Amino acid sequence: MISYALKRIIRSWKLFAALLLGMTLATTFFGGINVAADTIGKQFVDQQLSTSPIDFTLNPNGPLPSITSINNVRSKLVALDGISHVEAQGTLSDVRNFTLPQVRAIEDSSLAWNHMSPNIQLAKSQALEFENGNYAVGQNLTYTISGYPPSQNYNITLKIAGLVHPDAYAQSFLGLGFGFRGPTPGGLSVSPYYQNVLIVSWERTFVPILQSTSGIMNPSGMSSYIDVFLDRNRLITPWDVSGSATTVKGISDKVANIASQNGFAENDLITNQLQGLGQAIFFLRIPFLIFSIPVIFIAWYVGKTVSQASYNLRRKEIGLLMTKGFSRTQLYRHFITEAVLIGLISGAIGLALAYLLNPFFISVLNGNYNGGVFLNLTTAAMTVVFALFLTLLAIRSPASQAAAMDPAQALREYVYLEDVRPSKKRGAIAAFSLGLYKIILLALGINFLVLGGRGFSYGFLIAILFAVLAILDLGLTFVGPFLFLYGAVNLSSGLAFRFHRLFSKISQRLIGDIATLSSKSVFRNPRRAASTVFLVALIAGYSIWVIGDLASMEDYTARQTLTRVGADIRISNLSGLSNATTIIRQITGWTNVTAATPEVENWFNTPSQGAQMRVRAVDPTAWPNTAYYENGWFSTSPRTLFDIMKGDNSTIILERAVATHYDIKEGGNVTIPVSSGTLVNLRVIGFFGPDYSSSSSPFTNPFGSSFFQPLGWSYVPLGVVGLHPTFFAAPQYSVLVKAKNTSTDKLASSIQDAYPLTSVQSSSPSSASQNGTNSIFSGLLNVLRLGTIFAAAAAGIGVGTVAYTGFKEREKETTMISVRGLSYRQLLGLLITEVLPLVIFALVLAAVVGIITVRGDTLALDSLSNQDFYALLSPRRIAFPMAEQVILSSIIGLLLLGVFLPAIFSARKN
């Protein structure tokens, strides 16, 4: 059976090409994400473990050990399997005056020498001082080993023979800068170390000291310990860090046993790290796999669709096999065997493509490609098994239907599998109802997760109702739009048919009256038409949803960063207005600075007891040309308001919520008590910010009384300080900078270097995504974005296969039409008109659902941030920038290729 199945696949490869391509795409995506995750995981493990070069440290558990005891322990440790290196270290400290640098004694074979320059052998009593030390070369330093009684004190004089430079690894190896030897917080430091240390020889300096002081009771000022290093390359596997931690813990127990038998105590520096890294990598991989589920689902659906089409083209073969004695079970097993072969082939091809495209997938996951591909046997096997499982799952139902086909009907020319069973509407009605409920909530911007928090304000029963609706809302968040599409497609066949007839009438102008045949042909098989519409609507709606949400999220992040910084760059931590003015005068001469302006901020009491409002004093001339602001922030044109400020220093642009709460109208007065106790009257010329006066407090305090608390700020002219010198009691001074033709991060770095005592903020979103958490989150979003491309390619294959199947089944019919005088252009138009209206109908349906979903997600997320003034000031909005439009256009192009290519191929053949 295997040989026959293999011959069938090779000879009739066109029947299996669509299934093979679809499974290969899904496998490539799945394997690429996992191979990239393994590579990034290895980089992550190596980076984290590089901060802890030492695996175990053995400290004396009592009196200072003898050199014989140290060598005995070392020999036993080296004999353990998994130990790659063991070395001893010693220390000398100035315990009398605490003024001399600490002394580290390291062996000639110490790993530290490979990370220090120069790498030389020191003679007895010679020492190397770390550069930037306090002592000169050639200077002698005397250390005292204190004993009891004091008559047993031992003095050692060291001569500084030169300077040594340790790299970051050596600093961590020696435990510099943090006062302990172990994992360095935050990773290897590239900043200068601050400890002054001397390096001496273990063999020629410290061992003689150890031998000379062996008769001193409880000597202070010296210590020794043993460092143990594992064969990490052999013992630690990044794809199974938790298993590696178990192996390492076993070695640690053996080391601890040897240590306890010889008067030492073991300090395990790596096992806890590995356990934490194992959990981190596990939780890193799970989101990548979860975010791949939509692509896997679409690949499964495409595989199922193309399998149905393929088996329909093989009706005669199925009928002949049955007439020759094949039972239904044997026929089903034959289909399963074919699927196994297809799964193995697609798994191998997908794994190879994942390996070759590994640099691309690593960049998608925000990793760093360093020229190596990390593919382990577990990931390779898992990828092939995934392809096999997905293929079997996709063909299971179509293969069962094909095996159950009646031989007499299978040998007939025009019998469709889909027409055998009546369409069931109950599932479609239920899916449509649930999906419609979610779509209505999204369209209205209703978020029961927020309303549930406010439900107690309306009573206990209402709160319970809101809680139940919130749970339902949460459950439908991810599947609701898909349920709506599924139900709408299966219940709107009549609407799709009318749309198809309308499109056919329009096509009559191009290909003639023959276009009317297209509607009759395509709706001979309503199940296949519905399957095509759902497939296109699913991938198009999913793509619009994902890409729209991601683009809107990135747009919101960029605008939020600008809003919070206030301009391209903000310079703060300034001593006064004169300091700000000096910086402005200097940096405005830079070629990459367009403008700069000062900003002074302070808090003032409002008429309400305990409430305060912020006021920012700005230069009315320079601020509009420098600061960041959006349309709608001000009650009228910002430039008009600031032009009024230029001529009147007793004006204020009042925060809108404050004005609403205190019923202050434009043209009214605001009285502000300044630090000297004087009351300053300011005329309101406009308003700034959103009006949250009636909605800010109840959400945060649903059980207690609510009160108004200003969240934003108001603007006054900087000249008010000249009129009232005590206007600001303890102001905060800043400088806003507008960049020109340069990276704001680079400009911010240059400003920070020029003014090291200030604090410089950049508005570049990249500066906020440098930390690991944001980088991982960005990688997850890129997985979603990339998944839409793979899913669209798979969907295009599905649409093309379904279309080609329909054309192939009616090959005799189209040939007869061509013989009767139908031109190539008319035949091509007829074939395209059969499928293209279904695709357009699905795209329209998907666009409506996708945009409603993006809008609903935007409103829902905004409703969760009603206590953040910056979020209220720059709320989320639907954004489809050019890059996202190109991606969506590419996806639509892939779907349309599934219409045009089969039509062109079939028309040319005819």
**3-class secondary structure per residue, 138-170:** CCEEEEEEECCCHHHCEEEEEEEEEEEEECHHH
pLDDT at position 791 is 84
Strand pairing class (593-605; 732-739): antiparallel
Tokens of 776: 């991982």
Residues 6+ positions from 237 with CB-CB distance below 8 Å: 243, 244, 376
686 secondary structure, DSSP code: E
Is-contact 829 511, C-beta < 8 A? yes
Q: Half-sphere exposure of 556 toward its Cβ, with a 13 Å CA cutoff?
A: 20
* Cα distances (Å, whole numbers) of residue 604 to 608, 645, 717: 11, 20, 16
Is-contact 130 193, C-beta < 8 A? yes
Is-contact 801 306, C-beta < 8 A? yes
Domain boundaries of the chain, sorted by first residue: 1-50+287-421, 53-269, 492-565+768-910, 567-762
pLDDT at position 531 is 80
Q: Mark 307-332 as b/e (b = at least 16 C-beta within 10 Å).
A: bbbbbbbbbebbbebbeeebeeeebb
Q: Where are the alpha helices (DSSP H) in 79-132?
A: none
220 secondary structure, DSSP code: B
Is-contact 534 489, C-beta < 8 A? yes
For residue 333, which amino acid is it?
A: R
Q: Whole-angstrom Cα distance, residue 461 to residue 106?
A: 74
Q: What are the two backbone dihedrals, phi and then psi, of residue 103, each rounded to the nearest 5 degrees?
A: -110, 130
Strand pairing class (679-688; 651-655): parallel
Beta partners for 738?
595
pLDDT at position 808 is 75
What is the Rg, in whole angstroms, of the alpha carbon atoms belonging to the chain?
37
Tokens of 890: 């590419």
Q: Whole-angstrom Cα distance, residue 264 to residue 256?
A: 8
826 in helix, strand or coil? helix
Is-contact 664 736, C-beta < 8 A? no
For residue 815, which amino acid is it?
A: T
Given a cut of 50, the residues of the chain with pLDDT beneath it are 177-194, 415-420, 696-705, 768-773
Is-contact 763 562, C-beta < 8 A? yes
Is-contact 604 613, C-beta < 8 A? yes
Is-contact 305 397, C-beta < 8 A? no
Q: State pTM to two decimals.
A: 0.72
Largest CA distance in the chain: 123
Q: Where are the alpha helices (DSSP H) in 404-425?
A: 407-410
Q: Mark 560-596 as b/e (b = at least 16 C-beta within 10 Å).
A: bbbbbbbbbbbbbebeebebbeebbeebeebeebebb
Is-contact 685 654, C-beta < 8 A? no
pLDDT at position 324 is 83
* Cα distances (Å, whole numbers) of residue 112 to 54, 422, 490, 577: 11, 78, 71, 51
Which residue has 């990548």 as its token pair?
288
Q: Whole-angstrom Cα distance, residue 200 to residue 155?
A: 16
Helix (H) / strand (E) element for 767: namely helix 765-768
Q: Whole-angstrom Cα distance, residue 134 to residue 326?
A: 93
pLDDT at position 867 is 62
Q: What are the two backbone dihedrals, phi and then psi, of residue 200, each rounded to the nearest 5 degrees?
A: -130, 170
Question: CA 539, 545, 548, 551 torsion: positive or negative?
Answer: negative
Tokens of 288: 């990548």
pLDDT at position 619 is 93
Is-contact 146 96, C-beta < 8 A? yes
677 in helix, strand or coil? coil
Question: CA 38, 39, 45, 49 torsion: positive or negative?
Answer: positive
124 C-beta neighbours (distance < 10 Å), count:
13
Is-contact 357 32, C-beta < 8 A? yes
Q: Whole-angstrom Cα distance, residue 281 to residue 777?
A: 14
Q: Whole-angstrom Cα distance, residue 257 to residue 259?
A: 5
For residue 826, which amino acid is it?
A: Q
Tokens of 828: 């091509």
61 secondary structure, DSSP code: S
* pLDDT tens for each residue of 771-784: 444 555 566 677 77
Which residue has 């000639």 as its token pair?
108
Is-contact 717 618, C-beta < 8 A? yes
Residues 6+ positions from 804 with CB-CB distance below 8 Å: 309, 902, 905, 906
817 in helix, strand or coil? helix
Q: Whole-angstrom Cα distance, residue 312 to residue 576?
A: 82
Helix (H) / strand (E) element for 737: namely strand 732-739
Tokens of 357: 């495209």
845 C-beta neighbours (distance < 10 Å), count:
24
Q: Whole-angstrom Cα distance, residue 617 to residue 557?
A: 27
557 C-beta neighbours (distance < 10 Å), count:
16
pLDDT at position 417 is 45
Tokens of 793: 């390619």
Tokens of 630: 């959006």
Question: CA 569, 573, 578, 582 torsion: positive or negative?
Answer: negative
Is-contact 739 747, C-beta < 8 A? yes
Cis peptide leading into residue 765 (ω within 30°): no
pLDDT at position 123 is 92
- Length of the chain (residues): 910
For residue 503, which amino acid is it?
A: F
Is-contact 807 903, C-beta < 8 A? yes
For residue 308, which amino acid is it?
A: Q
